[in-house]
Chains A and B, each alone.
Chain A
């Protein structure tokens, strides 16, 4: 959606005052829910995301079971009040697709063969949405999975890059998402640099793509540090009881 009346840069800064490679403010908290096996609360710009992990537990219904490994059910859901115009409760095509690509991204890094016939359920609730909810949701899921004590080869992390008014920028905000030229959400395994999720819409040259991907990966690595700090923060407290 292009709109020539909207200016996404003012005096070389983005509408919210960020430089091209700045992230929005991020706050991560691990282990916030009582019932779930693992959980995470994450604020990323205006996004507010809660994730609860249950499992590994026996997959139900039984025909969904895989006899060699656990299945991953990520369920991305937007609260009715999370967007400008009220959203009808329940899954729609968009949330089903996001659930699928997030499930697939998580499958790659979880040690699923340790739990044949089981399911690992990852409930991602978007309470307040403001651009980049899938990246925020996947990032929170990574923390909640570690918090649940689930064996994994890495803590996955996601971040988007994009293009606005011809310039490449990190982590699109709301207007930038609405009126920008391209959006490139990326999730990686930060230990190996492997790419777990990649989508793009808009228009990028190959050269721009290379640069945008590099930018997104750098963003992922920054967010990864915040994830790790949040997990350690939660359990450091127990150590200090002494």
Chain B
């Protein structure tokens, strides 16, 4: 398997000329030159030069599925922390229940968690989320962990390969929010196995051939159990 080396870049690093390449995500252009604006991994796709962040807060994008924690129940909406720079707003019209004015706290209260979808993000970066989609609901039971949002793609894997593996070998229910929050439910030993594996993926998410190695790890552990 030949893959080009993953290169770490830092803010202000020169990455190329606009005559040869196009400036993609995580970059900025000054006088025809493309520079990195963040600490990240260099990623060249067709003509584009992108930098994939290693660290940083979740950047909400419309349509993303996220896990939120309710900060405050207000008269006709909830303020929900989604691990972004700002809390998101969940309006009573965006939940599957008929909520009377002023009775929001009977449905969701401070500290409750929800699986939600990012509905809109406006120019001031005000975020609205919704529970009106399939499989979105208030979370009961299980465990929610938070990882760097930039590691989410690795935890999901190519076309969901990693998460499919995890579910297959642990029989846990797992929901990975794009915002770095992951909900895990299952019997304790299996939850522990998921946690252990995610830790492994987190620490090695910059290296190659990870899916295969994780599968071997899960296989071996499963054999141990048997």
Contact = CB atoms under 8 A, between A and B. Distances in A.
A18 B48 CA distance: 48
Contact of A239 (B40, B55, B85, B207): B207
A196 B217 CA distance: 51
Contacts of A154: 11-12
Nearest to B59: A114
Contacts, number: 96
Contacts of A191: 12, 35
A239 B12 contact: no
A241 B206 contact: yes
Contacts of A231: 10, 39
Contact of A241 (B55, B125, B204): B204
B57 to A, nearest CB: 6
A238 B203 contact: yes
A132 to B, nearest CB: 23
A242 to B, nearest CB: 4
Contacts of B56: 37, 148-150
Interface string B189-221: 000000000000001111110000000000000
Contacts of A116: 124-125
Interface in A152-188: 152-155
Interface residues of A, number: 34
Interface in B17-42: 26, 28, 30, 35, 37-40
B85 A115 contact: yes
B207 A146 contact: no
B24 to A, nearest CB: 14
A147 B10 CA distance: 9
Interface string A117-155: 110000000000000000000000000001111111111
Interface of B: 6, 8, 10-12, 26, 28, 30, 35, 37-40, 53-57, 85-87, 124-125, 150, 203-208
Interface of A: 37-38, 55-58, 67, 111, 115-118, 146-155, 189-191, 228, 231-232, 235-236, 238-239, 241-242
Given A146-B10, A152-B12, 11 more contacts: A57-B86, A111-B28, A118-B86, A147-B39, A149-B40, A149-B55, A151-B26, A153-B30, A191-B35, A235-B206, A238-B54
